[in-house]
Structure 1
Amino acid sequence: MAEYELMWSKSEGTWIDVEHAPKPPSVSVSPSGEIVEGSSVTLTCSSDANPAASYSWYRGNQTLSEEQNGLLHFTSISYKDRGNYYCQSKNHHGQTNSTLQYLDVQYAPKLLSVSVSPSGLIIEGHSVNLTCSSDANPAASYSWYREGEDTPEASGQTFTITDSRSEHSGMYYCEAQNRRGRLNSTLHLVIEPVKQKLVAVGILLAVLLLAAPLCAFLLIRKWRTSKPPSQLGEEPDNTERLPSTHSEQQQGDLQYASIHFVRPRTDPIYSNTTAAGTSRQTQQEEADVEYAAVNFRQASSSPKHFHQEPLEDPSALYSTVKKGSTNFM
């Protein structure tokens, strides 16, 4: 039986380098846990990529940094730095973004404000609301104190005085507090007694009572001065005045007319003559011809009396008036 000895040998290893685009990066926050305003915070972005990726940090559409090591560092973080962050890793094979990382920065109450409702003058007996608000993370709790007292008057964001009295007037302050700090703000509350309101109403009524007769007198006086004398029962002035202007001279030349209608008498010469073809209606219309005598005279000093001039006056004017129209056959 023949025996054979097998001999094994190993070749040297060969490295195969496979390039690829970055894998989705991961984000870490240091220190971990709660982030307090004023502390130092670092965000780190890392991903698997070949060749090595470069990194950029974003907050919304705003580019914050482009660092090769993928770090975003806050020396003293502020409450304004709260928000969502993400990083982007890329090489010449591609790019990819991380998921959003919310950076929660805690801080003591800020921007504390107090208000009173209703605003303006407050009369006792009405309900009054004192309101306190602030910006805080975590949310603040509120307590209301009256100046000089250690025990709070009320707790909560709104302090309501249901039946207010003048004794409630004074200085109040609101305290907003969370585990990161506290902040106070003061408010001066003034509640007017009812008697002052009654005095104000009485003064107003007195002013109105005094002003009413004066206003009525002025209105009546204005009305009388705006009316013509004839409407106020006054007699018109009949005093004759000499014309002083050209317009008055023209008014002084006004003439008064007296018109007389006279039935025409039949002329014996033409009484039996009738034009051929003239209808009976035409004869009747001619018989209805009337004459008008118009007399003009200078106006007398009294416009109420008129004087009729005789027909033989040389200034008389005669006109022939025909009724209807004459039809000829």
Structure 2
Amino acid sequence: MACPENMFFLIGLFMSGVLVCFGQRDLITTMPDRLDVLTGSCVQIPCSFDVPDNDKKKFNSAILPSGVWIKENSKFRERPDRVIFNSSKTVNRYQGEITGNMSQKNCTTVFFNVTTSYSDKYYFRIESQPYSATDPVKPVNIVVSDLPSSPIITVSGEVKEGTPVSLNCSAVVPCPEHPPELTWTLPTQFTTENQLQENPDQTKSVLSTVTFTPSYLHHEKNITCTAVYPVGTSNKTAEHNMMLNVSFSPKDTSASISPADPVSVGSCVNLTCSSTANPPVTNFTWFQISEGKTTQVASGLSYTLNVTGDGGLYFCEARNSHGCGKSKEVQLAIKGSGEHVTNPTVFGVAAGTLGAFLLISLISLFVWRRNSRLHDGHERTDSPQGQNSPVGTVCTNQATAGEEPEEPAEDQPEEIHYGDIDFSKLQAKETPAAAQDRVQGQESEYAEVNVTGREAQEPPLNNLDGLYAQVTK
């Protein structure tokens, strides 16, 4: 019976041999793990190969090897129908060509007019003299679909208000002969730059970079990157939507007071601050303005106080990591307090009303004073100082005795004129009966004065002492 130590030695030697056998690769290929392809388009398979060190002597690089693609399984000898392409043959099951330089171990291959039946795993093999080998470890998985893959949007850094930012959109290019066109949809003006680039796995992609300066108004707005792939005579489209996350300082900060109506001393009022910010506001601070002095009175979203004084103005400040925002002042009105801050609109209306009242009063006073002077003038003229006839027996025109007065023109309106009147020349001798009537307080009669014979002149006040132009009986 063998010793346990010898048994463990034999088992270890056996396992080492198994690992060496299964771990040996006669050909080492480098290919992408997966390729997404559009129906009707082409697909390029980036490919390179190498020979293990112990087989390098067998491989003659001077002799150009043939490239063979095997579908589904690397053991093609059992199923020769799995060989879909051989560069040494003129006719193959798949239409394509090896575009890489095989003498430099570049096996990059392009297949045309891809259909959904192409979806499968593919292995690569080289055939040359005297060395041929297949890599059974590294296949490429080709996935064919009718719709293209969506592009990918990435952000370089934080999207902050007022700071220029760049967004990247990339789309795969399975067929470099017909790369997709990328377009952007943004809620603001922007500039773009497009370029075709090679990825670490040697696949190709289109990269579009857009640069813009975000505003807080762009927060939570959608942006879109659209990829348009040309396939034959038509296009196939895919897009990616993303919501912008813009960081900004507090905006639209406002303070409100409840109740808004004047309150009594001893009652309770509640002040509330609101603001929009990203990230959210972390600190609210309340201030009071009283007698021209600003004082911090509280912290927090809401501020509740018992009314003990004469009110005042209040405002709040909202702050986050990007800055702060200040609200407008709100008035705490107290019933019966004479120190309220007057609303400018109410003050303007009151001032306008008072001004109009004063203006009307001045005009009324002026008219009253003028009428008083005119009335006093008439009384002096009507006083019994040798006059025989009542005031108002003045002629209506200046035509001589026996002459017919001129008729006014039909198209011209009758005008009322003022003229100089000398009552000393118009006085008649007073009869005893007239004197008796005057003494008994007979009311003087007034008649309309219409002077049409000459240009009217306003009688000076020192002569007529405020005679009316129209005297109503």
TM-score normalised over the length of structure 2: 0.34
Flag the structure with larger Rg.
1
- Calculate the TM-score normalised by the size of structure 1: 0.48
